[in-house]
Amino acid sequence: MHKDDLMTPRERANAFARGEEPDRMPIVLGYGAAAGDLLGLDYDDWREKPGLRAKVAVNAYNEFGYDGVSTTYDTDALVELFGGELCVNRRGPNAVQRPPVADLRDLGMLDLDLVCSDKDYTFQHTSEVFHRLKDALGDELPQIGFGIEAPLTLAARFAGTGYILKSILRRAELVRPLLEFFTALVIKVHSFFVSETASFTVFDAVSSGSLISPRIYQEFSLPYEKRIFDALKEKRSDVSIHLHICGNTQKILLPMVSTGADIISMDEAVKLETAKQLIGDKVILSGNVPTMAVILQGGPVDVDRSIRDCFAQAYDSPRGFSISAGCAIPPGTPIANMRQFMATARECARIHARGKNLSPASFFNA
């Protein structure tokens, strides 16, 4: 158990399930590629080394004690599996140098049988990391989470974002088979993990309101996400599905709920107060301390103020609220800001757990 807590995440989850008061509410943090900073490692040093990757995640959990630890199926290596080329980024996710799909009329290189086979190195090492995390932290955590990107974001990675978005506007019928392929791919990958975890996250950066319109979200993202979530729920009734879309998602919050997601996470372009009014009675909200402007570029004072402001806006959201960063924490984030994030988040999450007679001011007067 972390020295600053009174319960492990597992004990906390059990307290919730029994209707008892936990020591504090859960704290969620997408501390993935940045977690190597604590050990002086660049992402490229450990992304494809399962033992080191698990060590980085366990070390970050031991240091900070947030509630969710997960592993992500990086789709980088899939780009190469299907004949594309990557441009290696030492500190963060790799960029695609040459996408596998040059022409949407030819999807012959996309072979679903390769996915999760012994040729799919990403699957092999993700599975190993997942089991190492389960062995190391399974007693403390109720679940080891699993994350993957959504079909539209995968389609953009495999054919280029500009090409996909232009094609949606001009030749939509050419894009649908690619979205079908990635829907089947995500469902296939999930099927290997659903017996071992109930905690799933789907990231959909390309469905951002900054890139596509609400109409395009409803036609080219929502139906595919819903099919993926329905498939998970069919296999397991206790799944908890976390949907994260970057950028301004205010106009698609209601459609995001109709995917069947249980937790909607948003970045700072959406005000938590607005999200609470629009969808707070339907799903758990998660967000949204500004990742770049505050956590990366600000100082501890900014982090402290921003977390209190998030709680003040969303603590009374009817279905619940979990504090988190607006997006994944970038490599290079000052460790002092991370320590402040956890210190203030813990303090507010303890107040939040008391539940009674709270007001927005409760989170500022502690």
Which residues bind to Zn ion, rule: CB under 5 A? 246, 327
Closest CB 85 distance from Zn ion, rounded Å: 25
- What is the crossing angle of helices 151-159 and 161-170, to 10°? 110
Residue 360 is classified by DSSP as: G
Which two three-digit tokens encode residue 102?
A: 């040059």
36/290 with CB nearer Zn ion: 290
- Shortest Cβ 268–Zn ion spacing (Å): 10
Q: Does the CA dihedral 307-309-310-315 come out positive or negative?
A: positive
| Distance of closest approach, residue 258 Cβ to Zn ion, in angstroms | 20
Report cis status (omega within 30 of 0) of the bond before 288: yes
Least distance to Zn ion, CB of residue 301, Å: 24
* For Zn ion, the closer CB: 250 or 362: 250
Rounded CA separation 28/322 (Å)? 7
Q: Which is nearer to Zn ion, 81 or 283 (CB)?
A: 283
How far is 347 from 23, CA to CA, in rounded Å? Answer: 10
Nearest distance from residue 80's CB to Zn ion, in Å?
24
> Least CB distance from residue 171 to Zn ion, whole Å?
28
Minimum distance of Zn ion from residue 30's CB (angstroms) = 8
Exposed/middle/buried for 306, CB within 10 Å: 0-12, 13-18, 19+? buried
Question: Smaller CB distance to Zn ion: residue 73 or 363?
Answer: 73
Q: Is 71 helix (H, G, I), strand (E, B) or coil?
A: strand
d(CA 120, CA 289): 36
- Give least dist CB 238 to Zn ion, A: 26
DSSP string, 157-189: HHH-HHHHHHHHHH-HHHHHHHHHHHHHHHHHH
Residues 12 and 346 sit within 8 Å (Cβ to Cβ) = no
- Pick from 26, 23, 10: which is nearest to 342 by CA? 26
Q: Which is nearer to Zn ion, 56 or 246 (CB)?
A: 246
Task: Give the nearest distance from C-beta 95 to Zn ion in angstroms.
Answer: 17
Q: Is 10 exposed, middle or buried (0-12, 13-18, 19+ CB in 10 A)?
A: middle
Residue with tokens 């399962």: 50
Looking at beta carbons only, is 99 or 247 nearer to Zn ion?
247
User: Residue 15 or 292: which CB sits closer to Zn ion?
Assistant: 292
Which DSSP letter does residue 330 get? P
Q: Which is nearer to Zn ion, 137 or 328 (CB)?
A: 328
- Among residues 326, 301, 302, 317, which one has the least CA distance to residue 352? 317
SS3 199: strand
Closest CA to 317 of 351, 279, 291, 360: 279
Q: Smallest gap, in angstroms, from Cβ of residue 242 to Zn ion?
A: 12
Nearer to Zn ion, 41 or 245 (CB): 245
Q: Which is nearer to Zn ion, 246 or 256 (CB)?
A: 246
Residue with tokens 């008892």: 20
How many CB atoms within 10 Å of residue 366? 10
Please, is 169 exposed, middle or buried when counting C-beta atoms within 10 Å of its C-beta (0-12, 13-18, 19+)?
Answer: exposed
